[in-house]
């Protein structure tokens, strides 16, 4: 889960009360919280720690804009939704901390709901994609439809798969951006808001905007935007009557949310997570612990009078950083339509033949019984042992069930191997780029201290990638061993099944289930191959984008219609983009084959493929080792001569590897 913090500037009321600033942004990721007691002359707490630092994925100061928050934290989630993933953004914090302003905004400064939907329309294909909106609020544990007030009170239900649904919730098609803004304005006007002493426009309910992306009229991706009501202290708000009841309901639901965050962030996978204490936590179940890429925007105020609320919010946000979600790409139901139809036909055929076999065995038993009765009547007692047909049929059925169980286990093992194969491919490509950068830097005789620190960080990244590559190789070895062992067991069961087959129908049934197992293996192998091709194509598209940018800069420099100051900046940008393009191409040049590990295990191609190494299978004894043998260095393509820059420009000019989490710390590599 991505967790960011936004600090609200002090308002006129807080300044009138002579509150002072107690939250200070240190950089783009860290905040310093100062306890107001630090400035009080209290000798009993003189040795108490009054300052505490908090680190997050991003931190925004009081002067940050809506566009700053959108571009740095949530813009990339739109790309995930377009690719078929689910994404969630929710605002968390005390009352009056600026949550509604960030999510909804104003006409002059639109919030994330407007900015995100606008970005979504910029990326979708309006001919094949359709956007639908649903807007609801949770007020005093009651769900209401903000787009259709006449719907009354709605219920929250779960289907047989555990997915949370709100039956009766309206869904409105949004053909363009103007319609989206109209829908949001209508919904916001119907939302419950009242004035309190802590906030003149206090939201008295939790609001959830659900954006459904349909592709060819089928569910493709979902985006959830949630504006939570703020926690309240009755002593601060001086609420009475209905406002006091609303505050109690808000605090109760937020307490349930805090308990869920504590359970998920504990790291104990066996710990029970209670989502059922509140309708809010049930709605956020998939966002917090399920299949969604989630961004939590915690809001605090810089005023010293709200220190306790600010401290609690930052603590909860720090715990939420430990929550891990496992988003998976949504697959349309039509993707496996052909295969599902074939499986249905096979199952019908299996049932038909099983019925025919049962009838045959019953007829055989009846004939044996009649023959025995006839022989007894004639005074003839047979001493020749006969095969028990019913017992043979029972053994055949047991062997068939064992074979099907092993087939399901084999499928799961192949899927595990497929996931490891894809991760290994990405690790190896990133590792190749980073090693090439390090090899180029090693040729420099004079390296500044700041540059040396960046190089050490990059070396640490390479070491982590190599450790991960070794772990993936170990996973591959163990998984392939299990697959081969299962294959031998299934072959033995197949032979026993063929030995127990008493009729032509049973023999055909054995052929059918064996073929089904082979088709399943081939299907997973094809998926694995396609996934590897997709990784390569994405890397290629990224390189092509840099190539187009490189060509545009070159054309502008060749034309020469720029001033001298602009020309120097263009030349600098030209050198950086050229290096980016170069280092993005290195992993693509090293790709020799895209045959997946699953495909190599297929009997039809195992022998020819085993004689050559796959591009994603890097032996451990050939791993790059920095500052070691020269023959290992020779395997890396030589890089152009580097030109040194002043140390203060390193942070701003470095972007040689966008896939690296520390790319903004790397020094520039100049190939111009």
Tokens 């040689």 — which residue?
656
The vertex-620 CA angle with 618 and 625, nearest 5°, equals 100
> Can you give 307-340 as a three-state secondary structure string?
HHHHHHHHHHHHHHCCCCCCCCCCCCCCCCHHHH
Q: How far apart are CA 494 and CA 522, in angstroms?
A: 19
The Cα–Cα gap between 98 and 58 comes to 17
Task: Note whether 194 and 202 are within 8 A (CB).
Answer: yes
| Tokens encoding 212 | 């459904």
Would you state the pLDDT for residue 5?
Answer: 94
d(CA 598, CA 244): 61
Binding site residues, as ranges? 93-100
End-to-end CA distance of the chain: 40
Instruction: Give the C-alpha separation, 245 to 243, whole Å.
Output: 5
The per-type count for the chain, helices as H runs and strands as E runs, is 20, 17
> What phi, psi does 126 have (nearest 5°)?
-65, -15
For 570-608, letters b (16+ CB in 10 Å) and e give eebbbbbbbbbbbbbbbbeebbeebbbbbbbbeeeeeee
* Helical axes 504-559 vs 449-500, angle rounded to 10°: 160
Q: Walk along the chain (672 residues) in steps of 10 and give the mean pLDDT of each run.
A: 91 88 91 86 72 92 91 86 88 86 85 86 84 88 88 83 82 77 80 69 81 85 85 63 76 83 74 82 78 88 89 89 76 57 73 67 60 48 44 75 89 90 85 79 65 78 87 90 90 88 85 88 87 83 78 79 75 75 72 74 52 38 36 34 34 35 36 32
Q: Which alpha helices (DSSP H) does 332-388 contain, by range? A: 337-377
Q: Which residue ranges are tagged as binding site for ATP?
A: 93-100
Closest by CA to 119, choosing from 79, 88, 83, is 79
Alpha carbon 99 to its chain's center: 25
Nearest-angstrom CA–CA distance, 398 and 395:
5
Q: Which two tokens stand for residue 314?
A: 């930052």
> CA 454, CA 663: separation in Å to the nearest integer?
9
Q: Count Cα atoms within 13 angstroms, Cβ side, for 619.
A: 4
CA distance 393 to 390: 5
Residue 628, classed as helix, strand or coil, is coil
Helix (H, G, I), strand (E, B), or coil: what is residue 572?
Answer: helix
Q: Which helix (H) or strand (E) holds 86?
A: strand 86-93
Distance CA 59, CA 135 (A): 29
What is the distance between the alpha carbons of residues 250 and 232, in angstroms, rounded to a whole number? 8
| b (16+ CB within 10 A) / e for 137-154 | bbbeeebbbbbbeeeeeb
pLDDT of residue 147: 87
For 468-483, b where at least 16 C-beta lie within 10 A, e where not — what string? bbeebbebbeebbebb
- CA distance readout (Å), 351 to 343, 358, 520: 12, 10, 20
Quote the DSSP letter at residue 649: G
Computed from CA positions of residues 352, 353, 357, 358, in that sequence, does the dihedral angle turn out positive or negative? negative
Cα atoms found within 13 Å of the Cα of residue 83, Cβ hemisphere only: 14
The whole-angstrom distance between residue 380's C-alpha and the CA centroid of its chain comes to 76
Measured N-to-C along each axis, helices 337-377 and 504-559 cross at an angle, to the nearest 10 degrees, of 170
Residue 59's pLDDT is 93
- Take residue 608 and report the two structure tokens written for it: 């020819």
- Determine the length of the chain: 672
Structure tokens belonging to residue 510: 């054995």
**Burial tier of 622 (Cβ tally within 10 Å: 0-12, 13-18, 19+):** exposed
* Chain center to CA of 137: 26
* The two three-digit tokens of residue 668, written as one number: 């520039």
pLDDT value, residue 639: 33
Q: Look at residue 220 and give its three-state secondary structure.
A: strand
Q: Which long-range contacts (CB under 8 A, 24 or more apart) does 240-245 make?
A: 243/194, 243/196, 243/204, 245/140
- pLDDT on residue 445: 59
> Cβ(280)–Cβ(253) under 8 Å?
yes
User: Do the Cβ atoms of 19 and 310 come closer than 8 Å?
Assistant: no
* Backbone φ, ψ for residue 300 (5° rounding): -135, 160
pTM for this structure?
Answer: 0.50
CATH architecture observed for domain 68-298 = 3-Layer(aba) Sandwich (3.40)
Strand-pair category, 51-55 with 58-60 = unpaired
What are the boundaries of each domain within the chain? 68-298, 337-362+384-653
Per-residue pLDDT, 322: 83
């Amino acid at each position: 889960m991505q967790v960011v913090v936004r600090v609200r500037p002090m308002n006129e009321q807080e300044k009138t009360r002579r509150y002072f600033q107690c939250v200070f942004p240190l950089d783009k990721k860290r905040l310093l919280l100062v306890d107001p007691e630090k400035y009080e002359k209290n000798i009993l707490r003189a040795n108490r720690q009054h300052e505490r630092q908090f680190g997050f994925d991003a931190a925004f100061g009081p002067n940050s804009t809506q566009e700053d928050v959108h571009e740095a934290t949530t813009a990339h989630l739109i790309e995930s939704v377009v690719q078929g993933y689910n994404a969630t953004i929710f605002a968390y914090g005390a009352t009056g901390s600026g949550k509604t302003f960030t999510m909804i905004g104003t006409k002059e400064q639109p919030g994330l709901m407007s900015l995100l939907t606008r970005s979504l329309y910029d990326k979708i294909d309006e001919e094949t994609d359709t956007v639908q909106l649903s807007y609801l609020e949770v007020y005093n544990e009651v769900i209401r439809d903000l787009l259709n007030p006449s719907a009354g009170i709605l219920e929250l239900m779960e289907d047989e798969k555990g997915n949370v649904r709100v039956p009766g919730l309206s869904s409105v098609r949004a053909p363009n951006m103007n319609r989206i803004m109209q829908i949001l304005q209508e919904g916001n006007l119907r939302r419950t808001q009242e004035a309190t002493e802590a906030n003149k426009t206090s939201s008295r309910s939790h609001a959830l905007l659900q954006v459904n992306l349909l592709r060819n009229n089928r569910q493709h991706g979902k985006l959830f935007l949630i504006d939570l009501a703020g926690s309240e202290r009755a002593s601060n708000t001086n609420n009475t009557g209905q406002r006091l009841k609303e505050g109690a309901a808000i605090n109760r639901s937020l307490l349930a949310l805090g308990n869920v965050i504590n359970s998920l962030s504990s790291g104990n996978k066996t710990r029970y997570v209670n989502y059922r204490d509140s309708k809010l936590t049930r709605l956020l179940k998939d966002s917090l612990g399920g299949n969604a890429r989630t961004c939590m925007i915690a809001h605090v105020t810089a005023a010293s009078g709200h220190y306790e609320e600010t401290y609690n919010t930052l603590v909860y946000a720090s715990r939420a950083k430990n929550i891990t979600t496992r988003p998976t790409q949504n697959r349309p139901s039509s993707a496996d339509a052909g295969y599902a139809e074939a499986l249905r036909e096979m199952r019908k055929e299996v049932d038909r033949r099983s019925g025919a076999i049962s009838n045959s065995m019953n007829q055989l038993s009846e004939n044996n019984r009649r023959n025995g009765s006839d022989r007894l009547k004639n005074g003839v007692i047979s001493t020749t042992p006969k095969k028990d047909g019913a017992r043979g049929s029972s053994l055949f059925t047991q062997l068939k069930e064992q074979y099907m169980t092993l087939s399901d286990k084999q499928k799961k093992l192949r899927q595990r191997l497929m996931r490891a194969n894809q991760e290994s491919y990405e690790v190896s490509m990133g590792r190749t780029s980073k090693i090439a950068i390090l090899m180029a830097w090693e040729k420099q005789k004079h390296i500044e201290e700041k540059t040396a620190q960046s190089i050490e960080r990059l070396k640490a990244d390479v070491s982590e990638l190599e450790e991960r590559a070794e772990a993936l190789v170990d996973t591959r070895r163990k998984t392939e061993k299990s697959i081969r062992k299962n294959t031998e067991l299934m072959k033995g069961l197949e032979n026993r099944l063929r030995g127990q087959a008493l009729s032509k129908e049973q023999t055909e049934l054995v052929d059918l289930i064996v073929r089904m197992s082979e088709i399943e293996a081939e299907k997973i192998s094809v998926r694995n191959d396609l996934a590897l091709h997709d990784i390569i194509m994405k890397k290629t598209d990224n390189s092509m984008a840099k190539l187009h940018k490189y060509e545009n800069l070159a054309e502008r420099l060749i034309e020469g219609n720029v001033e001298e100051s602009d020309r120097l900046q263009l030349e600098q940008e030209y050198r950086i983009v050229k290096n980016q393009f170069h280092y993005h191409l290195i992993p693509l040049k090293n790709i020799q084959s895209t045959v997946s590990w699953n495909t190599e295990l297929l009997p039809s191609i195992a022998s020819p493929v085993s004689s050559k190494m796959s591009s994603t299978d890097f032996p451990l004894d050939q791993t790059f080792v920095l500052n070691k043998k020269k023959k290992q260095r020779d395997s890396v393509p030589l890089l152009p001569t580097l030109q040194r820059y002043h140390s203060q420009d390193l942070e701003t000019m470095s972007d040689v590897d966008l896939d690296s989490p520390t790319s903004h710390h790397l020094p520039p590599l100049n190939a111009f």
